[in-house]
Amino acid sequence: MNREREGGAHGGRYLVVATGEHLCAMAVEQVRSVVPALTVVPCPATDPNLLGLAEYGGEPLPVLDLAALVGAPAGAVAEFPVTVVVRTRGEGGSVGLAADAAVGVVEVPPHLTATGSGLVQARGTWQGTVLHVLELAALGGERRQ
């Protein structure tokens, strides 16, 4: 993310999703689609954030637990959970992120604090809730913040 963080403008449009008790924002350019929660088949994995594999567009799609990735405490049971299919590093790479709900597409407020490299690039509050701004390309290499 090559945007100024503290006291500056993030610019661009972000998809905001609810996950646990937190919100996550991701650049719309990195989002392929938002679909009702995909059926996930658990599989043995070394990454505890991997929920399993789902079918998306006739291909297997790894689905990660977004709340676990950002350390969000569990919230109420989601009424309309979604899977956010995002682009990752590498040619045509995609991954699904399990979230509780899609909130909408917004401009992210500038009063966030940069966190450094990794998945969570900035953190702050938005509408009274913790907000994590994500750099989804980090999912292609490292999966932890």
Banded model confidence at residue 144, pLDDT cuts 50, 70, 90: very low
CA-based end-to-end distance of the chain: 15
At 3-57, the pLDDT tens digits run 333 333 456 899 999 999 999 999 999 999 999 999 999 988 778 899 999 999 9
- Residue 81: which domain range? 13-140
CATH number for 38: 2.40.50.180
Q: What is the pLDDT of residue 90?
A: 61
Q: Is residue 18, in this structure, part of any structural domain at all?
A: yes
Total structural domains within the chain: 1
Q: Is residue 128, in this structure, part of any structural domain at all?
A: yes
At 45-94, the pLDDT tens digits run 778 899 999 999 999 999 999 999 999 998 888 899 999 999 876 666 89
Higher pLDDT among residues 116 and 133, named by residue: 133
Cα 72–chain centre separation: 12
Look up the pTM and report it: 0.84
Q: Is residue 62, in this structure, part of any structural domain at all?
A: yes
27 vs 82: CA distance, rounded Å: 17
Determine whether 63 is exposed, middle or buried from the number of CB atoms within 10 Å of its CB (0-12, 13-18, 19+): buried
Q: What is the pLDDT of residue 9?
A: 42
Contacts of 82 (CB under 8 A, 6+ apart): 17, 34, 35, 36, 37, 98, 99, 100, 101, 102
Q: What is the pLDDT of residue 77?
A: 84
81 vs 104: CA distance, rounded Å: 14
Phi, psi (degrees; rounded to nearest 5) at 91? -75, 110
Q: Is residue 32, in this structure, part of any structural domain at all?
A: yes
Higher pLDDT among residues 103 and 78, named by residue: 103
